[in-house]
């Protein structure tokens, strides 16, 4: 697909501003593209959005949890409450595992189709073909584009099994962790670290035969969180059935209250910190990549590794010599030493 056809970034921006969903989809595809002319337009578009989209008008929430816990079903179910309240809802996915299936959020599952057909909703599967870090970065940019299009609730669905959690935490205001009834943390593949990032914990599938187990799990998590957050306020633990809809409205209420309690000042502060952290981390990666792929640096690097392995050189000396080479490369004398 010709992503921009003849559209300039300003024309695309104007269409997005008016809530044109096709333009929004195209813009997200544009920022995912690595083609150089696309990158240029994407940069200009994101800058324009950044300057003109008012801050703090949206609520950004991550819905996280182990594979199969019911994240998509929960989002579909909670979306009816969000839309009824008059919000415009965008759902984005950060799902490293879906790189294989090409985006499981829509893939074989039909649930989100109902939601994506709603005039006030927008559903976007995770971008295919890039590494997880890249997916997170693109999702961050997609959030800004959705906000420009007037979506005021952004939900990011993410599998709670690893690095994507810490990344996703830095692009949202609140993180809701879904848990299945029964089983310990290890069984659900949920790491302690992820629990620490949660603002609200909800035990899903509290229905039928699983209802009593769900109550037990709630108790266990309430206790575990109290221990974990002994110094501060532990997140609430609720339960719901995304399939039957019970408890889902209460979960949305709890999220809304948490959001309302964040003052505008706090929110602006948090978001600004998040942007700066993103910049610092990415810059560090980019600078390292630049050096690591430089032929002079690379050959010296390999040589040093071999020398360290042979015990010919201490790590200290190797580091000093690499630092000297780095300085030389930076000052344009790299080929002479
Ligand atoms: N009984 C019951 N089943 C549920 C509930 N919510 C989801 N499920 C079922 O759990 C399975 C997984 O649901 P999904 O919504 O696809 O879960 P997910 O967490 O999005 O899965 P991934 O995106 O693959 O990680 C489906 O078969 C759902 O029907 C619930 O509240 N109760
Ligand atoms: Mg899902």
Of the bound ligands, which one is closest to the alpha carbon of residue 189?
1
Per-residue confidence (pLDDT) for residue 104, from 0 to 100: 45
- Residues 28 and 142: beta-carbon distance below 8 Å: yes
**Any ligand 1 atom below 6 A from CB of 72:** yes
Please tell me the total number of residues recorded for the chain in this structure: 337
Q: Cβ–Cβ contacts within 10 Å for residue 288, how many? A: 10
Distance CA 236, CA 7 (A): 47
Q: Is the CB of 164 under 6 A from ligand 1?
A: no
Q: How far is CA 274 from the centre of its chain?
A: 12
Q: pLDDT at position 207, please?
A: 96
Position 9 scores a pLDDT of 92
User: In 3D, which of 102, 82, 84, 80 has the Cα closest to residue 93?
Assistant: 102
Residue to mutate, 65, 73, 155, ligand 1, most ligand atoms under 8 Å from C-beta: 73
Ligand 1 pocket, residue 159 CB under 6 Å:
yes
This prediction has a pTM of: 0.86
- Tens place of pLDDT per residue across the chain (337 aa): 455 567 889 999 999 999 999 999 999 999 988 888 899 999 999 999 999 877 667 999 999 988 889 999 999 999 999 999 999 999 998 765 544 444 444 444 445 778 888 999 999 886 655 555 566 778 889 999 999 999 999 999 987 656 666 778 888 999 999 999 986 555 455 667 788 889 999 999 999 999 999 999 999 899 888 888 888 889 999 999 999 999 999 999 999 999 999 988 889 899 999 989 889 988 998 888 888 888 999 999 999 999 999 999 999 999 999 999 999 988 887 666 5
- Which residue, judged by its Cα, is nearest atom 6 of ligand 1? 70
**Ligand 1 in contact with 188 (CB < 6 A)?**
no
Residue bearing tokens 């030389």 = 328
> CA nearest 29: which of 103, 100, 89?
103
At 131 the pLDDT is: 56
Say how far apart CA 154 and CA 141 lie, in whole Å: 12
DSSP codes joined into one string, 197-248: H-SEEEE---SGGGHHHHHHHHHHHHHHHHHHTTTSPPPEEEE--TTT-TTH
């Amino acid at each position: 697909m010709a992503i921009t056809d003849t559209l300039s970034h300003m024309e695309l921006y104007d269409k997005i501003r008016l809530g044109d969903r096709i333009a929004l989809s195209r813009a997200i595809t544009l920022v995912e593209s690595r083609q150089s002319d696309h990158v240029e337009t994407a940069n200009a578009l994101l800058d324009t959005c950044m300057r003109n989209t008012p801050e703090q008008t949206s609520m950004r929430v991550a819905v996280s949890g182990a594979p199969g816990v019911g994240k998509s079903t929960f989002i579909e179910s909670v979306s009816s409450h969000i839309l009824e309240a008059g919000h415009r809802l965008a759902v984005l996915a950060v799902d490293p595992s879906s790189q294989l299936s090409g985006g499981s959020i829509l893939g074989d599952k039909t649930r989100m189709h109902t939601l994506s057909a709603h005039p006030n909703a927008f559903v976007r599967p995770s971008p295919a073909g890039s590494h997880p870090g890249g997916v997170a970065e693109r999702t961050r940019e997609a959030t800004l584009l959705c906000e420009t299009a007037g979506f005021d609730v952004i939900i990011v669905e993410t599998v709670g099994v690893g690095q994507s959690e810490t990344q996703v935490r830095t692009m949202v205001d609140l993180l809701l962790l879904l848990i299945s009834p029964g089983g310990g943390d290890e069984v659900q593949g949920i790491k302690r670290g992820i629990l620490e990032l949660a603002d609200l914990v909800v035990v899903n599938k509290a229905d039928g035969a699983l209802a009593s187990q769900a109550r037990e799990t709630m108790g266990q998590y309430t206790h575990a969180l109290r221990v974990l957050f002994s110094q501060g306020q532990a997140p609430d633990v609720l339960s719901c059935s995304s399939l039957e809809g019970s408890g889902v409205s209460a979960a949305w209420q709890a999220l809304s209250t948490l959001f309302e309690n964040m003052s505008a000042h706090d929110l602006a502060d948090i978001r600004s910190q998040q942007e700066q952290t993103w910049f610092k981390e990415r810059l560090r990666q980019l600078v390292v990549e630049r050096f690591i792929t430089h032929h002079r640096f690379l050959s010296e690097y390999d040589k040093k590794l071999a020398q360290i392995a042979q015990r010919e050189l201490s790590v200290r000396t190797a580091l000093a010599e690499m630092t000297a080479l780095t300085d030389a490369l930076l000052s344009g004398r790299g080929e002479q030493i």
